[in-house]
């Protein structure tokens, strides 16, 4: 029987099973139907509801055990009860006492009593335990407005529900309201998992494939209709299924057969979504075709857009597959979903950098076959009819694609090949994008784009731009245009003027009524009675200054005015710019690392709630923040917009459970650039060198501070013996060990470690400057060499020149930015205006010490190399060594030809913020962070020196030499003891430098 075969086939499908805990538990919110939960626990625990054995506490205990099982696994769930289903629940016949005098009505009364007590008990427990708050919900019915609003606010992944059948499979003469519940939940395009399975890891999950809800006058279960299929006009396309029997099959079997059979009816295609059609083909064709017939040896016409209409024609072809294969198609359809820039630009020949989908290669192969000429024949072995004749696996397709790329690459290099004809043919489908294009400012096209998305139902949307200032300017542009358009509308629209007049008249009338109430003395009860009888006026909620719906992208149905006001009230003391708040009220926000943290959190909250439908953000939003949307827009090109960042950002498009497909829009980005982003191969994942010299110093400090405790030793071993470090084989481990030995020797030569690994002298200062890495060691070399002592000795007599020279030296070490005024710099030949943008040369004393320190570092690695760059670039293949892992900084003009930007030195001298963006070409959005980081460096130096000098300092780094192994410890004077006055002058100079810099910094941003 076809029904039994289909049922047996479905039960054998392994990929239709789901581990509820492993796949969803603790990650996604799911719902548990309360009556299903109670019924399952009653049946599985064999609770007796007969006379004289009413086990109420047993039932409640079984439910608590079930819920605690999921809580112990960290699951996130809500228990929902529907009032209209409490009368239709029946107990498991297999557990009933046949000789019980209780009637079914009496058992139902006991069940409803148990249900009521259980709900109150769970709610009381949730109130007592804050961790269980708000997990019990009661609704009138599944179709009630309250439950619809609940689903809109909570993204429930699936419903855990009973199928209404006992273990024996006896369902005769029983009304099953669970079928109606399952059908209604599936109609909402949500998944349903069956709680009645003994093993939850094999519970079947029905995806949302129901076309429409059946007409059910009450709580009667949906009647199973005749599911005999209507035959198609094409030959061998009908699949006859027997009538579904009412008995002998469970709910899942009957639902599966009914759904799959329904999908095969032609009349229902336009009501189905893409997943249903794919499952229909999987069931109707692949289950009957032979292994060789499943391979699709010939390509089908590529769909320009995966819509329902395309799927209809796609499905029509599958019917012909039962008797014959598809005819070879030409490439008349649009060329690829993602056009390939390498085929358009002959200057790029590396096809390994682009990613071709299998259907793209099918179209490419058909086009190459069409235009092949004598001498440039396409190898018959590349014919997918032969190469992919069996069941095509992923590895087979990848091998075939690589072979096709080799041929295409050969044709691209040969001017006599038919590549130009192929490229012209494939480019024909892109003419529609090139026609009518004009270059416009991104800020001027964003508002029309958002308006089109709003009209087409494409909101909510996230607009990505990798310039913080551009994001804020776009926000202000959208806001100003909305406000100006609204102002013009209010001034010219007659209906609005009439509304304003009515509102003003209502205000006058209300004022008169209040004056009259003051004159007339009334009792408290009379006032309450009058207030209760007065109907609320529509003008009570009228906001004459609020944004009109036609000039706002906010969705006021997702958030009440009081909730919005509460959210904005949290920003009252955050000193947020007014236009940011005004834009939030119109449903537009901005999100990047430079805005206030509280404002960012409000933007994220309002966007998740659905009130905010437009967010303009940088790439930071695409990393680790759960804010899915329907449309992603990339506007404005940037060097940071790479293929990887494009994948990260475009992955936000498409909300699970809401959108079948997401939209990606490119705005003010060249066509070739857009094609390149879509088709470029993702770069290989490469981490940074896992070990740094400052990390070694800090681990030594950890071991010394804990007296080599077992815990600290284990932490250090686990850090240095990480398996991920040695993934590249033994060579990686050898390079790590070599760098570890080098770091220890380097730290000892710098007098930062003793022979026994004890931190010495300024080890604490260098450790606290770990975020500057190599600059910290350069700073230490100047401090150790006595340069800062000699420089700061004049802090009392000539503080101005001393601080300027100190600022010049520090600017050469920290927050270095290369100057962008030319490739070569010749002193004396630069324009004076340009020369002021370059950082002056280091004083000779500081330069000699730093160059000597770099040479000493290089000699520790190799005596045959001329520079650190030569060392890192000449290591053998497979050995990974970054220049940043070597403790040195290049000094101009000895180690590099590139001079440094003098933005820090200029700001310290003049405090002119505008000059940093105007002359030094620093991005406006980066200036604050660069200056703030430099301020943090100065604060760290001052704090570390203070702790070093003061006897009660928090750091214990004042040991200057190796410890004696003898039993009598020898008192060793600190290194600064003999020159204490000089070190105090250094501290005073850095304190004055920090105070003066911070004063100018805060004044600029006040």
CATH assignment at residue 55: 3.40.50
| pLDDT tens, residue by residue, 42-60 | 777 666 655 555 567 777 7
Last residue of a domain, one of 191, 223, 255: 223
> Using CA of residue 635, residue 637, residue 639, residue 642, what is the dihedral sign?
positive
Tell me which of 376-380, 478-482, 501-505 is least confident: 501-505
Same domain, 675 and 703: no
Which are the contacts of 400, defined by CB distance < 8 A and separation ≥ 6?
A: 361, 382, 384, 387, 388
Q: Average per-residue pLDDT in the chain?
A: 68
| pLDDT tens, residue by residue, 503-527 | 777 777 777 666 666 666 656 666 6
pLDDT score of 863 more than 60: no
Q: Please give the full DSSP string across 217-238, using - where no structure is assigned.
A: SSSPPPPPPP-PPPPPSSTT--
- Please give the Cα distance from 840 to 453 (Å, whole number): 53
Same domain, 732 and 670: no
Classify burial at 785, counting beta carbons within 10 Å of its beta carbon; exposed 0-12, middle 13-18, buried 19 or more. Answer: middle
Number of folded domains that form the chain:
4
Same domain, 37 and 66: yes
| pLDDT tens, residue by residue, 424-437 | 777 776 655 555 45
Same domain, 744 and 657: no
Is residue 298 included in any domain, yes or no?
no
Contact between 55 and 48 under an 8 Å Cβ cutoff? The reply is yes
| pLDDT tens, residue by residue, 78-131 | 888 888 776 555 544 444 444 455 566 676 677 777 778 878 887 777 655 555
The three-state secondary structure class of 439 is: coil
Q: Angle 799-813/980-1004 helices, nearest 10 degrees?
A: 80
Q: How many CB atoms lie within 10 A of CB 393?
A: 10
Q: Please give the full DSSP string across 224-289, using - where no structure is assigned.
A: PPP-PPPPPSSTT-----PPPPSSSS-HHHHHHHHHHHHHT-GGGGGG--HHHHHHHHIIIIITTS
- Please give the Cα distance from 355 to 338 (Å, whole number): 9
Classify burial at 543, counting beta carbons within 10 Å of its beta carbon; exposed 0-12, middle 13-18, buried 19 or more. Answer: exposed
Look at 998 and 541; give whichever has higher pLDDT.
998
Is residue 318 included in any domain, yes or no?
no
Same domain, 669 and 715: no
Q: What percent of the chain lies above the pLDDT cut of 70? A: 59
Tell me if the pTM is above 0.85: no
- Please give the Cα distance from 817 to 673 (Å, whole number): 28
Contact between 867 and 858 under an 8 Å Cβ cutoff? The reply is yes
- Please give the Cα distance from 613 to 215 (Å, whole number): 36
Domain range spanning residue 586? 445-501+547-679
pLDDT score of 313 more than 80: no
Which are the contacts of 758, defined by CB distance < 8 A and separation ≥ 6?
A: 700, 704, 959, 962, 963
The three-state secondary structure class of 679 is: helix
- Please give the Cα distance from 674 to 646 (Å, whole number): 10
* Partners of 78 in beta bridges: 31
pLDDT score of 9 more than 50: yes
Q: How many CB atoms lie within 10 A of CB 137?
A: 18
Residue 268's nearest CA partner among 207, 208, 210, 187 is 210
Same domain, 697 and 674: no
Is residue 886 included in any domain, yes or no?
yes
Instruction: Tell me the CA distances in angstroms from 519 to 507, 513, 514, one per residue in order.
Output: 19, 10, 9
| pLDDT tens, residue by residue, 815-832 | 888 876 554 444 444 445
Residue 171's nearest CA partner among 117, 107, 94 is 94
Q: Angle 903-910/799-813 helices, nearest 10 degrees?
A: 160
- Please give the Cα distance from 613 to 655 (Å, whole number): 13
Is residue 506 included in any domain, yes or no?
no
pLDDT score of 415 more than 70: yes
Is residue 96 included in any domain, yes or no?
yes
* Partners of 653 in beta bridges: 629
Same domain, 827 and 974: yes
Is residue 252 included in any domain, yes or no?
no
Q: How many CB atoms lie within 10 A of CB 749?
A: 12
Is residue 4 included in any domain, yes or no?
no
- Please give the Cα distance from 812 to 819 (Å, whole number): 12
Look at 632 and 21; give whichever has higher pLDDT.
632
Contact between 417 and 378 under an 8 Å Cβ cutoff? The reply is no
Last residue of a domain, one of 630, 652, 679: 679
Q: Residue 290: what pLDDT?
A: 47
Residue 992's nearest CA partner among 797, 824, 803, 776 is 803
Q: Give the pLDDT band of residue 352 (cuts 50, 70, 90).
A: low
DSSP H/E element including 204: strand 203-206
Q: Give the pLDDT band of residue 289 (cuts 50, 70, 90).
A: very low
Same domain, 89 and 180: yes
CA angle 319–320–323, rounded 5-degree value: 115
Contact between 349 and 419 under an 8 Å Cβ cutoff? The reply is no
- Please give the Cα distance from 277 to 660 (Å, whole number): 13
**Helix, strand, coil percentages for the chain (3-state, nearest 5):** 55, 5, 40
Last residue of a domain, one of 223, 242, 259: 223
């Amino acid at each position: 029987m076809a029904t039994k075969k289909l049922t047996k086939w479905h039960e054998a499908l392994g990929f239709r099973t789901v581990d509820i805990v492993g796949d969803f538990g603790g990650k996604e919110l799911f719902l548990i139907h309360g009556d299903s939960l109670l019924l399952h626990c009653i049946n599985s625990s064999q609770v007796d509801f007969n006379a004289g054995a009413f086990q109420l506490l047993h039932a409640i205990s079984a439910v608590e055990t079930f819920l605690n099982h999921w809580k112990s696994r960290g699951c996130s769930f809500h228990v929902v009860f529907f009032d209209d289903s409490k009368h239709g629940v029946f107990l498991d016949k297999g557990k009933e006492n046949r000789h019980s005098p209780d009637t079914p009505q009496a058992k139902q009364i006991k069940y409803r009593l148990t249900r009521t007590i259980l709900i109150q008990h769970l709610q009381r427990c949730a109130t007592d335990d804050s961790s269980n708050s708000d997990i019990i919900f009661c609704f009138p019915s599944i179709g009630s407005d309250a439950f619809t609003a609940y689903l809109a606010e909570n993204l429930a992944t699936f419903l855990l529900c009973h199928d209404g059948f006992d273990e024996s499979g006896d369902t005769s003469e029983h009304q099953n309201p669970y079928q109606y519940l399952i059908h209604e939940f599936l109609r909402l395009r949500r998944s349903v998992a069956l709680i009645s399975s003994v093993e939850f890891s094999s519970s079947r999950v029905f995806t949302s494939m129901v076309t429409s809800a059946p007409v059910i006058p009450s709580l009667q279960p949906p009647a199973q209709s005749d599911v005999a299929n209507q035959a198609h006009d094409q030959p061998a396309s009908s699949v006859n299924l027997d009538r579904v029997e009412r008995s002998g099959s469970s709910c899942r079997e009957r639902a599966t057969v009914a759904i799959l059979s329904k999908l095969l009816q032609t009349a229902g295609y336009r009501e189905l979504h893409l997943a249903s059609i794919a499952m229909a083909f999987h069931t109707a064709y692949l289950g009957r075709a032979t292994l060789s017939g499943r391979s699709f040896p010939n390509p089908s016409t590529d769909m320009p857009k995966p819509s329902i209409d395309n799927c209809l024609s796609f499905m029509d072809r599958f019917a012909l597959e039962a008797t014959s294969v598809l005819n070879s198609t030409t490439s008349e359809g649009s060329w690829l979903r993602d056009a390939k820039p390498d085929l358009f630009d002959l200057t790029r020949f590396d096809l390994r950098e682009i990613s071709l989908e299998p259907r793209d290669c099918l179209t490419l192969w058909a086009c190459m076959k069409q235009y092949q000429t004598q001498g440039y024949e396409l190898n018959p072995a590349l014919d997918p009819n032969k190469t992919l004749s069996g069941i095509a696996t992923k590895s087979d397709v990848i091998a075939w694609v690589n072979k096709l790329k080799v041929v295409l690459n050969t044709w691209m290099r040969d001017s006599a090949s038919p590549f130009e004809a192929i490229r012209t043919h494939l480019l024909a489908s892109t003419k529609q994008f090139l026609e009518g294009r004009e270059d416009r400012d991104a800020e001027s096209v964003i508002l029309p784009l958002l308006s089109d998305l709003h009209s087409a139902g494409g909101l909510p949307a996230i607009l990505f731009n990798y310039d913080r200032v551009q994001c804020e300017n776009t926000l202000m542009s959208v806001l100003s245009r909305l406000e100006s358009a609204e102002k013009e509308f209010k001034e010219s629209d007659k209906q609005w003027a009439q509304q304003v007049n009515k509102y003003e008249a209502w205000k006058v009338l209300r004022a008169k009524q209040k004056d009259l109430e003051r004159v007339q003395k009334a009792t408290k009860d009379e006032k309450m009675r009058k207030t209760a009888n007065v109907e609320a006026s529509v003008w009570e909620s009228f906001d004459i200054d609020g944004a009109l719906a036609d000039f706002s992208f906010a969705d006021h149905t997702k958030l009440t005015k009081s909730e919005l006001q509460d959210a904005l009230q949290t920003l009252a003391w955050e000193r947020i710019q007014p236009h940011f708040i005004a834009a939030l009220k119109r449903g537009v926000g901005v999100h990047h690392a430079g805005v206030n943290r509280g404002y960012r959190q409000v933007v994220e909250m309002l966007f998740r709630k659905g009130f905010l439908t437009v967010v303009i953000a940088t790439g930071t939003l695409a990393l680790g923040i759960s804010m899915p949307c329907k449309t992603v827009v990339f506007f404005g090109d940037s060097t940071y917009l790479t293929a990887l960042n494009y994948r990260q950002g475009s992955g936000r498009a498409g909300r699970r459970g809401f959108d079948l497909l997401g939209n990606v829009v490119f705005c003010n980005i060249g066509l070739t650039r857009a094609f390149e982003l879509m088709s470029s191969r993702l770069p290989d994942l490469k981490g940074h060198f896992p070990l740094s010299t400052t990390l070694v110093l800090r681990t030594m400090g950890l071991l010394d501070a804990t007296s080599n405790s077992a815990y600290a030793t284990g932490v250090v071993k686990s850090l240095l013996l990480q398996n991920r470090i040695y993934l590249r084989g033994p060579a990686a481990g050898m390079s790590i060990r070599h760098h570890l030995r080098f770091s220890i020797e380097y730290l000892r030569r710098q007098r930062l470690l003793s022979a026994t690994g004890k931190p010495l002298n300024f080890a604490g200062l260098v450790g606290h400057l770990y975020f500057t890495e190599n600059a910290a060691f350069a700073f230490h070399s100047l401090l150790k060499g006595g340069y800062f002592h000699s420089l700061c000795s004049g802090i009392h007599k000539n503080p101005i020149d001393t601080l300027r020279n100190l600022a010049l030296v520090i600017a050469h070490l920290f927050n270095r930015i290369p100057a962008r005024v030319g490739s070569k710099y010749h002193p004396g030949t630069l324009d004076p205006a340009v020369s002021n943008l370059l950082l002056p040369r280091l004083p000779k004393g500081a330069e000699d010490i730093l160059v000597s320190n770099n040479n000493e570092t290089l000699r520790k690695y190799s005596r045959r190399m001329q520079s650190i760059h030569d060392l890192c670039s000449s290591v053998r293949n497979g050995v990974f060594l970054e220049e940043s892992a070597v403790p040195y900084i290049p000094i101009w003009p000895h180690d590099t030809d590139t001079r440094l930007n003098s933005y820090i030195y200029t700001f310290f001298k003049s405090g002119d913020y505008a000059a940093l963006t105007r002359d030094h070409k620093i991005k406006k959005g980066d200036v604050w962070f660069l200056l703030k980081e430099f301020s943090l460096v100065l604060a760290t130096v001052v704090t570390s020196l203070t702790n070093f000098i003061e006897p009660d300092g928090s750091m214990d780094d004042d040991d200057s030499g190796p410890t004696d192994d003898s039993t009598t410890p020898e008192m060793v004077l600190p290194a600064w003891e003999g020159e204490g006055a000089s070190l105090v002058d250094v501290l005073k100079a850095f304190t004055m430098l920090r105070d003066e810099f911070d004063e100018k910094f805060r004044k600029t941003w006040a």
